[in-house]
Amino acid sequence: MFRLQSSKVLAVDMTGDAVKAKNGSMVAYDGEMAFKKLSGGGEGIRGMVTRRLTGEQMTLMEVKGHGTCWFADRASEINLVALQGDKLYVESSNLLATDGALRTGTDFTGLRGASQGNGLFTTTVEGHGQAALMSDGPAVLLRVSPQYPLTVDPGAYVAHQGNLRQSFQSGVTFRTLLGEGGGEAFQIRFEGDGLVYVQPSERNTIAGDV
């Protein structure tokens, strides 16, 4: 029921079911729709408290109805991800919409968050259904296998899924402190088996300044 109307507009056809979407991302709809804010981003009190504590802010709304609803946000490119019982890790700022049936939560991701100013936590999406991710420019899907680990710029990282370990790498040296760094002082390294979504643009991170 998720389809791309253009690379930047998501169309969702609904027959009485519900989707969760980023607050205020509806651009148009036909038919009958109701919009309800999910307090604290869903998952009840516990989710709300974790979110408050972790700073992984996510304001979601529930859209329910009959007809077609179109979503878009700041002209970001949209990528559809189908989940079959697996778990997707995504920066909350990159999540546009998910099937109502998918569970959303927060997860500890280690030090990576610190370099992004997004906190140490990331948003997870789990279950069976579709999710729509946003990226600045069309995202590429890179496969990680045990033989081929992947290193990503934190500012270009969008999401990942599969059985991956991530570690934070710092290339900060004496030269960096002198202002002679290569501009790639921090990286995230993924090892294991899975997929990583990378966007062709770098959002502002602390790493970008060193």
Partner 1 sequence: MAFREINAKMVEATVAPGQRLFSQRGAMLAYRGEVSFTPNMAGGRGGLMSMIGRRVADEDTPLMTVEGSGTVLFGHGGHQVQVIELAGDTLYVEADRLLAFEGTLEQGTVFLGAQGGVMGMVRGQVSGQGLFTTSLKGHGSVAVMAHGGVIEIPITPQRPVHVDPQAYVAHHGDVRNKLSTALGWRDMVGRGSGEAFQLELSGSGAVYVQASEEKL
Closer CB to partner 1, 62 or 107, in the complex: 62
Instruction: Compute the least distance from the CB of residue 26 to partner 1, in Å.
Output: 5
Per CB under 8 A, residues contacting partner 1 are: 5-9, 23-31, 33-37, 39, 59, 61-62, 67, 70, 72-76
Instruction: Compute the least distance from the CB of residue 180 to partner 1, in Å.
Output: 33
Instruction: Compute the least distance from the CB of residue 118 to partner 1, in Å.
Output: 21
Closer CB to partner 1, 22 or 160, in the complex: 22
Closer CB to partner 1, 37 or 165, in the complex: 37
Cβ atoms within 10 Å of 52's Cβ, excluding its own: 12
Instruction: Compute the least distance from the CB of residue 51 to partner 1, in Å.
Output: 15
Closer CB to partner 1, 40 or 155, in the complex: 40
